[in-house]
Structure 1
Amino acid sequence: MPILAAGNKAGLTARRAAAMRRSVERGFTLIELMVVVTIIALASAAVVLVIPDPRGRLLDDAERFAARAHAAHDSAIVEGRSVSVWVSREGYGFDRRANGAWQPISEKPLRVARWADDVRPVIASSEGRDRVIFDSTGLANAPFDVQLRRGGDASVTVRFGADGTVTIGG
């Protein structure tokens, strides 16, 4: 029967083997942790992309409306005559002042447009149509807000400043 003593090769090997077993059993390697973190990140990204934004389509409609209103502002300056933006419950459109009366604009991008089925503007006028007018210098006749709503909670406001700026707010 061999005797294990300090300095004995068999004893050193046994201690090394025990130490190796302890170090192997201590935890996870860096690569294993990085793989787990990557899997969690990919799963989180997939969940975020699947969850619909309650303001998504509403914000798209507001941006489209604001861009077209800004085009009407530019058109008033370039043509040197007043252009109006009107908003109703069904949609919005643009008119040009000609021969003392408002004439609908039929050219793109200022054609009449309808709101998406689930988008509803808040109309202040009793006539069912609100209007802001850009004069030939691009100034609006008055500050004007168009609040768009979808469902119960989601809403976006398109603001027309007296200086003719068109911005989108929450």
Structure 2
Amino acid sequence: MVVIVIVGLLSGAVVLTMADPRGRIADDIDRFAGRTRAARDSAIVSGKPVALWVSPTAYGFERRENGAWQAVTDGPLATRDWAEETRARLGSATQVRAVFDSIGRADQTLRFTLERGGSAVTLRMDLDGKVTSGG
């Protein structure tokens, strides 16, 4: 009987420490922040504007080429879906967008909330492309 109790307690401990297969919401924030920095740096290095867009289910980047915006389809700036069951709450907008110029400055700040389950984290991107988050 004691063995069964011990096995039950150990099984419970394992279940409680198992990682969420979707990853942590902080992982989404870290990936988004890193890709945003890469977009800003790309605008500086190339001397061409790079746009960032965020929708409720995904985010991505576009480059200005030959007078038109072209979606980035490969590499770290390709469109990415938020993790499973994660949504960006954008207020009344269906998409928000900011453009980095050739000196790395964004044309506007962005602010939105990432939600998953009972968790919600507000993200802010400053004019310099720095992404910060808080409850």
Q: Compute the TM-score of the two structures, normalised by the length of structure 1.
A: 0.63
Q: Distance in 1 between matches of 2:51 and 2:27?
A: 22
User: How many Å apart are 1:52 and its aligned residue?
Assistant: 6.4
Point out which structure has higher relative CO (alpha carbons under 8 A, 6+ apart): 2
User: How many Å apart are 1:125 and its aligned residue?
Assistant: 5.0
Residues 1:156 and 2:121 aligned together? yes
- Structure whose residues are more often strand by fraction: 2
2:108 — aligned with what? 142
Specify whether residues 167 and 116 from structure 1 end up closer, same or farther in structure 2 by C-alpha distance, changes over 3 A only: same
Residue 75 of structure 2 aligns to a residue in which SS?
Answer: coil
| Residue in structure 1 matching 2:75, options 105, 108, 112 | 108
Residues 1:165 and 2:104 aligned together? no
1:117 — aligned with what? 84
Structure 1: gaps (5+ residues): 1-42
Q: Distance in 1 between matches of 2:19 and 2:65?
A: 45
Task: For 1:56-135, list aligned pairs within 5 A.
Answer: 57-126=24-93, 128-135=94-101
Contact 1:80 1:136 in 2 (8 A): yes
Contact 1:140 1:160 in 2 (8 A): no
Structure 2: gaps (5+ residues): 1-9
**Runs (4+) of structure 1 moved beyond 6 Å?**
none
Write out per-residue CA displacement over residues 94-131 of structure 1, whole angstroms, 9 at most, x where no aligned residue: 001122221101231001111112101012353x1111
Contact 1:66 1:158 in 2 (8 A): no
User: How many Å apart are 1:158 and its aligned residue?
Assistant: 2.4
Q: Compute the TM-score of the two structures, normalised by the length of structure 2.
A: 0.78
Matched length: 121
**Alignment identity in percent?**
49
Contact 2:106 2:129 in 1 (8 A): yes
Write out per-residue CA displacement over residues 47-73 of structure 1, whole angstroms, 9 at most, x where no aligned residue: 8x72768xx611111111111111111
Residue 109 of structure 1 aligns to a residue in which SS?
Answer: helix
Contact 1:89 1:123 in 2 (8 A): yes
